[in-house]
């Protein structure tokens, strides 16, 4: 047993990043040969003990050994899984228990532990559920970062990662297949409906806008490019109506064929100039009136279904079909193209409606009631959103005006030009703009007035300005103008059943906020500053405000090497009557005496420790720290001189004595404190006394 003990101790206390392969092999051999399993229990206990040592490097080594055994022995796995919470606290740290120093290695330990845990979960989580629970707990509750561990795992074990990937592929395939089936069924049922709606809309268009191609019987030629030419056709219709009205009127009753022939003939002869005027403000010569109101109503009804139900539906189909690979089934590509066609048709039809000048706003007030499709949300109309987004403020305004003028069917007042000058009407779109402007103006005005006041030299104000305190920026100024101060902006939440789930806005009450805007200002003695001579006089006479007078510190030397900081009027309770002392706390009156002493004793180190500290006096040192350092060096030098020892050898012997238990260790001594002057000195003195 003692050999196991030694083996584990040797493995864990090397301090190197890599384990000693020879010893590790030995340990594994020990565990493997013992069939009773007693060795593994023993080793586990020893490793846990090593893990509890307050040294990050030891813990790293122990963790590495644990990892080696964990991936090999079932019994070891069971043992560790039983002690998992404790293990996690030791290698990852916990809320109350921080990882031990050295800090650099503590960080390393954390990363390594995350990496090992991730690997274990991937490799053994399938058979040991508690590992998975631990992983979920660490990831979701303790928020341990496993990302780098996952990356490292992918690198080290590509085979298993591949298998996992395959599992995902299989899962994904199943998911795609289910999506495809669902979408396909949906398309089958809804496709006809959509097509019917689009057909209705197109019929309405044909009734409202006389199709010139149709009129002239050359529809076949335009069929393929019909949609693209729709606008053009409309222009043609307008143009003919405007310019060749007379010509048309004459031939109203004539045959369509003849019409075209005649027009073509006229154009061919080129004898008459044909002037086509295009009015961009009124591309379509259709207006809603009592004759065609029924058609418009139908149009609106179907348009609403198209915009609010079918468009999102088709978008969703596309979104879901995009997740399906084409090679999954034969008809996927076909299905996709079908859906795109439907979408194209829908969009073109909706665009036509917009060209027709139908105001889409009616949809907001009257929501389409579709019993089955609660899941679809209204999407904001993309085209109008784009229009809103572009251009600067003024440009946008003119554009919106145009837009309103175009579709002046319902909000007739919006496009009216006279409204701007009407004092009773406020344009809400301009309100914000105006308020911003006024704010800006006011601000500049304030600044102007400030300057003016500064220039107009008001003597009282100048004086006030002079004596106004210039204060440093502090929290009071930070909160000066803020009324609502958030209490907890850290986002942290205490995990507590009662307190942890507050949903209220964490605001600091106004009373507390008012106090936060206060600052304690300590008034200086203005009087004594302004009249130093007076102050000196009162001081000398002994009367006056003795409270303001600085009380001298006792400054007697303490055992710690510092000077007594007590401030008493006459007598310090520890060191007696306060007397003037020099920078080392020696009474001023005795200076001459001690100097005499020093001259008598050229080697002050032979006296007692406390004395030597006092009497050794380096000159011209300002702060305590450097003073201490200097003194220590001086002493070392003195000692070296006296004993004729080179400083380096002494250092080595001392280190050897301290660390003789593990001579080859790379462990960092965490118990070693930073060398302070006094301790250094004391050690040196103790050694050579």
Partner 1 sequence: MDNIARSRARGSIALSTSSQALSTKILGTMALAETKRIAHVHTAPVHSLAIDCIQSRYLLSAGADTSIQLFDLEAHKQTAQCLRQITPLSHVASGSGHTRSIANIEWYPVDTGIFSTSSFDNTLRIWDTNTMAEACQFDLESRIHSHKLSPTGTHALIAAANESAYIRLCDLRTASSTQQLLAHQSGSTALAWSPFQPYILASGGSDGMLKLWDIRQSDSCVSVFGYIPPVPSHKSSNKGESPNRAHIGAVRSISFSTISDRIISTGSDSRVRVWRTNVDRLPSLLLADFSANSVDTEGGSKAGHDNSHNKSWSTCTLEPSLTSILDGTAESEIMFYPNNDKTIAVIEVMTGRHISTLHGHFAPVQCTAWRTKHMELYSSGADNDIFVWCPPAAENLTDEQIATRVDSWSDGN
Instruction: Report the residue number, 77 or 586, with the smaller CB distance to partner 1.
Output: 77
CA distances from 505 to 480, 484, 485, 488, 501 (A): 21, 10, 10, 9, 12
Q: Among the candidate windows 24-32, 438-446, 471-479, 628-636, which touches partner 1 by CB under 8 A? A: 24-32
Q: Is 506 in the site for partner 1 (CB under 8 A)?
A: no
Q: How many positions of this chain bind partner 1 (CB under 8 A)?
A: 45
Q: Is 184 exposed, middle or buried, given 0-12, 13-18 or 19+ CB atoms closer than 10 A?
A: middle
Q: Is 272 in the site for partner 1 (CB under 8 A)?
A: no
CA–CA distance, 457 with 459 (Å, rounded to integer):
6
Residues of this chain, 145-174, that bind partner 1 according to CB under 8 A: 164, 167-168
The residues that bridge with 67 in the sheet, in sequence order, are: none
Q: Is 64 in the site for partner 1 (CB under 8 A)?
A: no
CA–CA distance, 46 with 34 (Å, rounded to integer):
16
Alpha-helix runs per DSSP H in 427-550: 428-455, 459-467, 475-478, 510-516, 526-530, 532-541
> What length is written for the chain?
689
Distance of closest approach, residue 72 Cβ to partner 1, in angstroms = 5
Residue 497, C-beta contacts closer than 8 angstroms, at least 6 positions apart: none
Residues of this chain, 86-105, that bind partner 1 according to CB under 8 A: 86, 88-89
Of 298, 280, 119, nearest to 197 by C-alpha is 298
Residues of this chain, 380-409, that bind partner 1 according to CB under 8 A: none
Among the listed residues 23, 28, 110, 354, the single contact to partner 1 using CB under 8 A: 28
Residues of this chain, 483-502, that bind partner 1 according to CB under 8 A: 495-498, 500-502
Place of tokens 């064929």: 257
Instruction: Report the residue number, 123 or 396, with the smaller CB distance to partner 1.
Output: 123
Q: Is 469 exposed, middle or buried, given 0-12, 13-18 or 19+ CB atoms closer than 10 A?
A: exposed
Among the listed residues 39, 57, 73, 616, the single contact to partner 1 using CB under 8 A: 73
Q: Is 196 in the site for partner 1 (CB under 8 A)?
A: no
- Within 13 A of 521's CA, how many CA atoms are on the CB side? 13
Instruction: Report the residue number, 58 or 353, with the smaller CB distance to partner 1.
Output: 58
Distance of closest approach, residue 547 Cβ to partner 1, in angstroms = 47
Distance of closest approach, residue 356 Cβ to partner 1, in angstroms = 41
Place of tokens 């005499």: 596
Binding mask 528-567 for partner 1 (x = CB under 8 A): ----------------------------------------
Among the listed residues 4, 41, 84, 579, the single contact to partner 1 using CB under 8 A: 84
Among the listed residues 141, 268, 412, 592, the single contact to partner 1 using CB under 8 A: 141
Of 48, 146, 52, 49, nearest to 99 by C-alpha is 52
Distance of closest approach, residue 92 Cβ to partner 1, in angstroms = 11
Q: Is 136 in the site for partner 1 (CB under 8 A)?
A: yes
Distance of closest approach, residue 377 Cβ to partner 1, in angstroms = 16
Distance of closest approach, residue 135 Cβ to partner 1, in angstroms = 9
Instruction: Report the residue number, 497 or 673, with the smaller CB distance to partner 1.
Output: 497
The residues that bridge with 587 in the sheet, in sequence order, are: 581
Distance of closest approach, residue 73 Cβ to partner 1, in angstroms = 5
Residue 148, C-beta contacts closer than 8 angstroms, at least 6 positions apart: 111, 114, 115
Q: Is 134 in the site for partner 1 (CB under 8 A)?
A: yes
Among the listed residues 32, 173, 655, 687, the single contact to partner 1 using CB under 8 A: 32
Packing angle between helix 129-136 and helix 84-92, nearest 10 degrees? 40
Of 318, 310, 366, 358, nearest to 338 by C-alpha is 318
CA–CA distance, 197 with 310 (Å, rounded to integer):
10
Q: Among the candidate windows 77-85, 242-250, 430-438, 604-612, which touches partner 1 by CB under 8 A? A: 77-85
Alpha-helix runs per DSSP H in 100-224: 103-124, 129-136, 147-156, 158-208, 212-216, 219-222
Distance of closest approach, residue 31 Cβ to partner 1, in angstroms = 8
Q: Is 41 in the site for partner 1 (CB under 8 A)?
A: no
Q: Is 54 in the site for partner 1 (CB under 8 A)?
A: no
CA–CA distance, 163 with 158 (Å, rounded to integer):
9
Rg (CA), the chain: 46
Distance of closest approach, residue 7 Cβ to partner 1, in angstroms = 16
Q: Among the candidate windows 72-80, 102-110, 440-448, 565-573, which touches partner 1 by CB under 8 A? A: 72-80
Q: Is 655 in the site for partner 1 (CB under 8 A)?
A: no
Of 46, 55, 52, nearest to 10 by C-alpha is 46
Q: Among the candidate windows 23-31, 111-119, 505-513, 665-673, which touches partner 1 by CB under 8 A? A: 23-31
Distance of closest approach, residue 615 Cβ to partner 1, in angstroms = 51
Q: Is 434 in the site for partner 1 (CB under 8 A)?
A: no
Distance of closest approach, residue 85 Cβ to partner 1, in angstroms = 5
Of 19, 14, 70, 83, nearest to 40 by C-alpha is 70
Find out whether 299 and 198 touch, Cβ atoms under 8 Å. no
CA distances from 254 to 218, 265, 267, 296 (A): 16, 15, 18, 30
Alpha-helix runs per DSSP H in 468-606: 475-478, 510-516, 526-530, 532-541, 591-600
Q: Is 178 in the site for partner 1 (CB under 8 A)?
A: no
Q: Among the candidate windows 102-110, 129-137, 190-198, 613-621, which touches partner 1 by CB under 8 A? A: 129-137
Q: Among the candidate windows 131-139, 317-325, 577-585, 675-683, which touches partner 1 by CB under 8 A? A: 131-139
Among the listed residues 49, 53, 123, 507, the single contact to partner 1 using CB under 8 A: 123
What does the binding site for partner 1 look like in residue numbers (CB under 8 A)? 25, 28, 31-32, 71-75, 77, 82-86, 88-89, 121, 123-130, 132-134, 136-138, 140-141, 164, 167-168, 495-498, 500-503
């Amino acid at each position: 047993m003692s050999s196991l003990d030694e083996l584990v101790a040797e493995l864990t206390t090397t301090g190197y990043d890599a384990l000693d392969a020879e010893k590790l092999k030995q340990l594994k051999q020990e565990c493997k040969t013992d069939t009773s399993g007693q060795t593994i229990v023993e080793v586990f206990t020893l490793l846990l003990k090593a893990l509890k040592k307050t040294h990050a490097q030891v813990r790293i080594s122990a963790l590495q050994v644990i990892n080696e055994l964990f991936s090999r022995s079932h019994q070891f796995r069971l043992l560790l899984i039983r002690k998992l919470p404790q293990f996690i606290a030791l290698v990852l740290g916990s809320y109350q228990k921080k990882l031990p120093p050295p800090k650099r290695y503590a960080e390393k330990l954390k990363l390594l532990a995350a990496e090992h845990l991730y690997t274990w979960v991937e490799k053994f989580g399938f058979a040991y559920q508690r590992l998975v629970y631990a992983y979920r707990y660490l990831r979701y509750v303790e928020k341990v970062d496993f990302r780098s561990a996952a990356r490292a795992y992918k690198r080290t074990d590509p085979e298993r990662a591949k298998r996992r990937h395959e599992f995902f592929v299989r899962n994904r395939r199943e998911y795609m297949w289910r999506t495809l089936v669902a979408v396909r069924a949906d398309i089958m049922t809804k496709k006809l409906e959509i097509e019917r709606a689009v057909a209705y809309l197109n019929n309405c268009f044909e009734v409202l806008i006389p199709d010139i191609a149709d009129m002239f019987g050359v529809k076949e030629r335009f069929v393929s490019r019909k949609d693209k030419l729709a606008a053009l056709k409309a222009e043609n219709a307008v143009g003919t109506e405007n310019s060749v009205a007379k010509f048309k009127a004459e031939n109203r009753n004539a045959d369509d064929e003849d019409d075209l022939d005649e027009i073509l003939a006229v154009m061919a002869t080129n004898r008459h100039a044909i002037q086509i005027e295009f009015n961009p403000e009124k591309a379509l010569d259709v207006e809603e009136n009592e004759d065609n109101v029924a058609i418009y109503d139908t149009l609106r009804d179907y348009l609403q279904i198209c915009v609010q139900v079918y468009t999102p539906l088709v978008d969703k189909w596309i979104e879901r079909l995009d997740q399906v690979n084409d090679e999954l089934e034969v008809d996927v590509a076909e299905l996709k193209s079908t859906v795109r066609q439907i979408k194209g048709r829908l969009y073109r039809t909706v665009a036509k409606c917009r060209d027709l000048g139908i105001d889409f706003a009616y949809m907001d007030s009257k929501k389409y009631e579709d019993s089955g499709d609660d899941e679809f949300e209204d999407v904001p109309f993309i085209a109008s959103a784009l229009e809103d987004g572009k251009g600067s403020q003024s440009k946008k305004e003119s554009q919106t005006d145009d837009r309103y003028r175009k579709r002046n069917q319902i909000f007739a007042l919006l496009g009216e030009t006279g409204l701007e000058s009407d004092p009773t009407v406020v344009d809400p779109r301009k309100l914000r703009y105006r308020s911003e402007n006024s704010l800006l103006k006011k601000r500049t005005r304030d600044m102007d007035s400030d300057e003016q006041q500064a220039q107009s030299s008001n003597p009282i104000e100048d004086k006030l300005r002079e004596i106004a305190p210039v204060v440093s920026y502090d929290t009071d100024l930070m909160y000066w103008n803020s009324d609502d101060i958030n209490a907890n902006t850290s986002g942290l939440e205490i995990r507590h059943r009662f307190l942890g789930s507050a949903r209220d806005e964490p605001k600091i009450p106004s009373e507390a906020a008012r106090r936060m805007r206060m600052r304690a200002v300590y008034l200086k003695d203005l009087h004594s500053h302004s009249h130093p001579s007076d102050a000196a006089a009162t001081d000398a006479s002994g009367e006056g405000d003795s409270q303001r007078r600085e009380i001298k510190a006792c400054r007697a030397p303490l055992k710690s090497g510092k000077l007594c900081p007590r401030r008493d009027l006459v007598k310090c309770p520890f060191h007696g009557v306060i007397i003037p002392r020099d920078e080392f706390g020696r009474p001023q009156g005795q200076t001459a005496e001690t100097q005499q002493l020093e001259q008598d004793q050229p080697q002050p180190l032979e006296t007692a420790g406390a004395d030597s500290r006092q009497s050794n006096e380096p000159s011209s040192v300002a702060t305590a720290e450097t003073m201490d350092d200097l003194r220590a060096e001086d002493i070392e030098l003195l000692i070296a001189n006296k004993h004729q020892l080179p400083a380096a050898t002494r250092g080595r012997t001392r280190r050897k004595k301290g660390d003789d238990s593990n001579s080859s260790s790379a462990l960092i001594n965490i118990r070693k404190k930073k060398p302070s002057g006094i301790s250094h000195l004391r050690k040196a003195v103790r050694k050579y006394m």
